[in-house]
Amino acid sequence: MNPDLQDYSHKRLNILTNEWVLVSPHRAKRPWQGQNEAVSKEARPSYDETCYLCAGNTRINREINPKYEDVFVFTNDFAALQKDSKSFKVEDGLLHAHSEQGICKVICFSPDHSKSLAQMEVKDIQKVVFAWQKEYKELGDTPGINYVQIFENKGAVMGCSNPHPHGQIWSQSTLPNEVEKKDKQQRNYYKKNKRSLLGDYLKQELKLQERIIFENEGFVVLIPFWAVWPFETMIIPKEHQSNILLINKDETLQYAEAISVITRAYDRLFNTSFPYSSGIHQAPTDEKENNTHWHWHMSFYPPLLRSATVKKFMVGYEMFGSPQRDITPEIATKMIQDLV
């Protein structure tokens, strides 16, 4: 490990977005006098009669949930994107606006209100993976849908409005900003080298063994060299695959194991139900090209910094300059490795 990266301020390049993150390892030693919050120890029941996501309960639109026993998917009652939205365009000098159509869904991971992915069995997480595959296929095949974004916000600090274990799937007619940047970087690399950008990156990480948290036959969990969030992680399939439909049945279980390992380790890190936003970035569904350049991956962005009550805020320099972190990815890796 290069000692300079652990002692001196420097920038690291995110090869997927071509953006830089400032790393300031010497600042990790500073005393903390910022915000601290009480940790909630409230235990949730396995069923909550007031929860609109629990099995058999009535949602806000008066629809009744089925008595589901594993995974349940439905169209979001408060969708951010509208399927039948009017098509229009505004081009008025420097004022530009384009209409956007889409379909938004909610995916309940389990009927058990008290659980999170970290508390679910691997075989039950595999059922979530199956549902992700099904929705990616069906939404992606829908006319006018050119990208499918699968994600989860866990914890109130991440804006989660309901503690029931669930995620969301937003599909839309154009590529979101982050996806567009990754699409460009991966395409350029593949065009030049005829190899996957993330595939080559993964080979280098596996050789160095400095940021690897866990690996099984099909997947690697690591902290990216360019990570922004203190305990940011990424799950990468070892095989070059453009989307999750290419995962075979054995690999879905291996993927579920990787999710289980990192979410359980997160909860052990500060002895709390660890909040995060996670999401899968994969090939667009526009069929304009075969998207061979894409190598799908799943990222976890947790906001906790020093304890269960101390958070990382993107403010000041991060808002006006570029992302910045104190604890290095290598030190963060070691902390999580000890909990796997």
Answer for the pair 240, 295: CB distance below 8 angstroms, yes or no. Answer: yes
Amino acid at 270: F
Amino acid at 157: V
What stretch of H or E contains 166?
strand 166-172
Under the phi-then-psi rule, with left for phi > 0, alpha for psi from -120 to 50, and beta for the rest, what region is 82?
Answer: beta
Q: Other CB atoms closer than 10 Å to residue 159's CB: what's the count? A: 9
Measured between its terminal Cα atoms, the distance across the chain in Å is: 22
Q: Where are the alpha helices (DSSP H) in the chain?
A: 4-7, 122-140, 177-193, 197-208, 249-269, 317-320, 329-337
Query: Does 166 qualify as catalytic in the annotation?
Result: yes
Q: How far is CA 176 from CA 172, 181, 282, in A?
A: 9, 9, 12
Nearest Cα to Cα of residue 198 among 212, 182, 214, 210: 182
As a whole number of angstroms, the distance between CA 190 and CA 270 comes to 40
As a whole number of angstroms, the distance between CA 310 and CA 308 comes to 6
Selected catalytic residue, list 113, 166, 281, 297: 166
Q: Please identify every residue annotated as catalytic.
A: 166
